[in-house]
Structure 1
Amino acid sequence: MNPEEPKNNVSSLEEAKKRKQTWRRIVKSKWFIPGLYLALVAVLLGTAWFLRDNETATTTVKPSEDTILPVEKSPTSEQMIYPIAKDSEASKTTDFYQENATNQQKESALVKYANTYWPHLGFDFARKDKKSFNVVAVMDGKVVKVDKNPILGELVEIQHANGLVSVYISLDDVKVQVGQNVQQGDVLAKAGQNQFEQEQGNHLHFEIRKDDQAVNPSQYLKTE
């Protein structure tokens, strides 16, 4: 038997007793229980956060590139139709005056009245044979004005939900009244004559106004 073995065994027993006494002191310490509790809480919270993040990652579904999301329609998305009946056989004869147009286009969009040239602030429609035709509402709205002007003739104004006002001038046989709700395509009147554009004969002068200012109708009217 090796003479060193008994000594080694005694040393091992003494070290074990020392470790046991150390643990007893730690357990008896007033900070042991609170510290252990905090450690357990930290482990539990860490596990919960891990599980939650993992669940979110697995359940989140990203839309594919082919997914078509619904688009809400704006109340202003309805397009205006031309203010002439489809069977009217009328066409546009005079355009809206634009400062950035060519000289020729500017000249053709001027109206001579009382020895003065006036910029044309809308579209004119007429038939080649100069006969009258039905004038229709370009969009749903409410009639806010019906009047008879000595120069412009009979006229109708309609307020629309998008804030625009459509104006129909040089009318005859007006069929609507103030306060009446009209739908797109409803007949408002027939094309007539006025003093301002006397040479045009039977025709419709049509304007769109935004904030009381005439704007180019081409940006609102549906292309025929």
Structure 2
Amino acid sequence: MADDRMNLRLESLVIDARDPRLLGRFWSGLLEAPVEEESQQGMRLRYPGMDGFFVDFVPVPDREARPHRIHLDVFAGARRDEMVEQALAAGAAHVDIGQRDVPWVVLVDPEDYAFCVMPEREFYRDTGPIGGLPLDADDIPAATEFWLAASDWVPDDRYAHTLRHPSGAGPLLGFTEPVEPKRGKNPMHLDLRAPAGVDYEETLAALIDLGATPLDHDWGPLDWTVLVDPGNNEFCLLRPRS
């Protein structure tokens, strides 16, 4: 598989928002992530301690309600209770999703995205403020193999179906059993960036050969391509930077 890898840069986690600036500033404060860009098109946060990975907030009029197929495990460690209080003061709220007696605290952010504030966990130690990105996948092995082949992220040998940035920093991307059947478009998704100097259409065709499917949508012309991976989750292939 290593010789066949495309190594496209997994550039960002994209979050649909009714108010991108409000939601972006909430997460900027909680993650201590600096604002990289801010415009009418949304807000981009630079992930702390990791080059080339971002969290983007983009404007949408509406979206699917919880439960969502991806969520953030915020790594607080020994500061769990302090971070919970910080989040609540910034506009988060407690939520019961059936978690019962667990060592983490489940909250919703100001736009009702659920997230977990995690206590000390050895395998989150080098991740930075987002310990994990659990992503529901209808076919976990196929989704794992696709993202391993398509992106520059590599397996985390400690855990099955888990990838991370090759630097060893940043969140763990783990593929998990779906909470419920897929409903509409995911309001959180991943973006891949096509490299400079490589034909975009050839890159797109290679992703389709790996198992991606172009999404039929009515959102008008876009400067990127929306696809669905073998785990039944949307992602975007962005064009090379000019």
Tell whether the structures are fold-level matches, with TM greater than 0.5: no
Computing the radius of gyration over CA atoms, which structure comes out larger, 1 or 2? 1
Give the TM-score normalised by the residue count of structure 2: 0.23
Q: Relative contact order (alpha carbons < 8 A, sep ≥ 6): 1 or 2 greater?
A: 2
